[in-house]
Amino acid sequence: MTFKFKTRLLAIGFVLASLLHSTPPAPAAPPERREYDIVVYGGTAGGVAAAVQGARMGKSVLLVEPGRHIGGLTSGGLGATDIGNKAAIGGIAREFYRRLGAHYADDKAWTHQRRAEFKGGLAQTGEAEMWTFEPHVAENVLRAILKEAGVTVVFERRLKLADGVQNSEGRIAAITTEDGDIYAGKMFIDATYEGDLLAKAGVVYTVGREANAQYGETLNGVQTAHAMKHQFLKPVDPFLKRGDASSGLLPGIHAGEPGRDGEADRRVQAYNFRMCLTDAPENRLPFPKPAGYDPLRYELLLRYIESGVFDAFCSNLPMPNRKSDCNNCGAFSTDNIGMNYDYPEGDYAGREKIFQEHVVYQQGLMWFLANDPRVPQTIRDQIGRWGLCRDEFQETGGWPHQLYIREARRMVGAYVMTQHNCQGRATADDYVGLAAYTMDSHNTQRYVKDGKAINEGDVQVGGFSPYPISYRSIVPREAECTNLLVPVCLSATHIAYGSIRMEPVFMVLGQSAATAASLAIDGKTTVQKVDYGKLKERLLADKQVLAWTGPTARGRDPGKLAGLVLDDSRATIKGDWTNSSAIDGFVGAGYRHDGNAGKGDKSARFEFQIEKPGRYEVRVAYTANPNRATNVPVTVVSADGEKLLRLNQRHKPTKDGFQPLGTFRFEKSAKVTISSAATDGYVIIDAVQLVPSRFEKGTQLFDSCLR
């Protein structure tokens, strides 16, 4: 049994799939049993890399793809590659991007614009690789690589969820798909975004956000205090009848409390479609109005626009041939917040319902912005000049076949990648690849606070160097399964996974997984007992990048500094600050600046719990520069009341990167708030330090840096 491919005749006159990732029924055939050295389940880009590497190492390889397409999100709309640092990518992944570069080096590849006219990506930099590309080109390249490697691929085969995994003495013997076909293997690789194979094999996994306390993190769990990016910049009424809480909530807003900061929950960061759009008239299709369209679904967005803010379309990245990769941006955009909680562990019917709800939501969003007469004409004109592409996703009317499943199941292996790995406080010594992206979580929920809509869950903290990923994080514990590798739903906490979960990294880990699987077959051993020395030797021979030798982040560990220290990642943030690590001397992974804009709308509150009452010197860390503000307001709340000081951030701090503000008496708590109000340059927030005072000298002001 295969996916059911439903279709619907839309008002604009073309047929669009209701279930875009599903497939038409295949002709009935007697069940088959096939045997291979390596069975890869999931034709994502990571799955392709795994299959190709296994074949190149002389193994018989079967790639089982549940749908109709190869490449997952890489060929499903994410054409503007997310990576963080491209120098961290090697092996088959770099080979893929180099082949894309060769494709676009040919003038014949440019059908809707000339190569010289393309200003996005890296086509004009002289690099051999191309990191920005069209979806259909990516899929063609991946299919070519598979064909050259001699990989057998079967499409439209979904794992039978009830009893589709045959286990024998801690090993997977074979898997059965819904049509009854049986695929036996010596080694298995789960390269899906969902992790169905690992789950049905009995491997321990988790879903949602861990508590900060579980692994000693600060950016995991509920994150109301850090809710600053993709947040409502103006208050927006959330009720059906404005000002009337008894009337109920608008669609897309959840009742109840968001939870306490840092505590665990089962919420999953939002999904969306990475739309491939074009403004070329000859290739443009208008946005369809989906069946089931409800204008009330976008009432919150309309009110937000009426407040004077429109930021839903600010991430529309250029791609070749007058196309773009359109992603979520702003408080109310393409992310369907809170509508995917049941997806990771859902059955196929449940996932189909969630998938279709996302189709209706996002198609409806674009139709609303382009056509609803209540939307200002300037916005309708801005959106209306764009449309879906006639030459992309042709079987589904230009709509992507792949939902952006940013996170689903995550294996819990012998080594769990955490925030500490990202920020360099922990380092794996059995590395099989590098991750390089910011710790990035999209919003997980939208709730009501003080009569206005609030988003929660978005975290974006970077400023660190590429860091190694442990081999133990892509294999289960030995007691659970000895012949399975998991390069996509790997063992990582929610916040660490947000950094690792980039398509090039999945390709790197897929190649490393297949290398280990091949060595395990050759050595007649388990994946847990593969000789790491031999694995590393082969990975390096195949041009994987395993260790970072480039410039490193310069942050100081706040845990090693004197007294009580809070980094900006632990402050309560208001407004839209920008992460940076451009200037050395910061604390933690980096610092934030206000962009010298939105003065008065941005602040950071550092709150300390004081266990030993007494007098403390208050110090503020920042990176000095001539473009900094000379009059940064800093408010200190002590046992003696509130005091406003002014800090000149053009002057270099005088004590180990911290500038003393004075000595204050604290009893149970201390609050230090840094604001951007009425400042005359860039405002920096990095860290605040409280150091016990040795002398009772009262408050001391340092005129060299305070005004």
The secondary structure of 139-204, three-state, reads HHHHHHHHHHHCCEEECCCCECCCCCEEEECCEEEEEEECCCCEEEEEEEEECCCCCHHHHHCCCC
Rounded CA-CA distance 493/501 in Å is 11
CB atoms within 10 A of CB 222: 24
Rounded CA-CA distance 24/6 in Å is 8
CA atoms within 13 A on the CB side of 167: 15
E strand or H helix at 449: strand 445-449
CATH hierarchy code of domain 558-692: 2.60.120.260
Q: Tokens at residue 663, please?
A: 């000595």
Contacts of 514 (CB under 8 A, 6+ apart): 38, 40, 49, 50, 51, 52, 53, 54, 57, 61, 189, 485
Higher pLDDT, 101 or 19: 101
Q: What is the pLDDT of residues 458-492, one digit of tens each?
A: 998 888 889 999 999 999 999 999 999 999 999 99
Rounded CA-CA distance 190/513 in Å is 10
Rounded CA-CA distance 158/176 in Å is 8
Indicate left, alpha or beta for 169 from its phi (over 0: left) and psi (-120 to 50: alpha). left
Q: What is the pLDDT of residues 317-359, one digit of tens each?
A: 899 999 999 999 999 999 999 999 999 999 999 999 999 999 9
The domains of the chain are located at 558-692
Residue corresponding to tokens 């997806």? 343
Find out whether 334 and 365 touch, Cβ atoms under 8 Å. yes
Percent of all residues in the chain with a pLDDT value above 70, rounded to a whole number:
92
Q: What is the pLDDT of residues 510-521, one digit of tens each?
A: 999 999 999 999
- Predicted confidence at residue 29, as pLDDT, reads 66
Write out 535-600 in H/E/C secondary structure: HHHHHHHCCCCCCCCCCCCCCECHHHCCCEEEEHHHCEEECCCEEECCCCCCECCCEEECCCCCCC
Indicate left, alpha or beta for 466 from its phi (over 0: left) and psi (-120 to 50: alpha). beta
Rounded CA-CA distance 345/244 in Å is 37
Banded pLDDT at 126 (limits 50, 70, 90): low
pTM of the prediction? 0.81
E strand or H helix at 369: helix 348-371
E strand or H helix at 469: strand 467-470
Q: What is the pLDDT of residues 371-385, one digit of tens each?
A: 999 999 999 999 999
Q: What is the pLDDT of residues 165-203, one digit of tens each?
A: 999 999 999 999 999 999 999 999 999 999 999 999 999
Label residue 701 exposed, middle or buried (CB < 10 Å: 0-12, 13-18, 19+).
exposed
Residue corresponding to tokens 């979580």? 441
- Is 10 a residue whose pLDDT tops 50? no
Rounded CA-CA distance 622/632 in Å is 11
Residue corresponding to tokens 């295969």? 2
- Predicted confidence at residue 703, as pLDDT, reads 32
Q: What is the pLDDT of residues 45-69, one digit of tens each?
A: 999 999 999 999 999 999 999 999 9
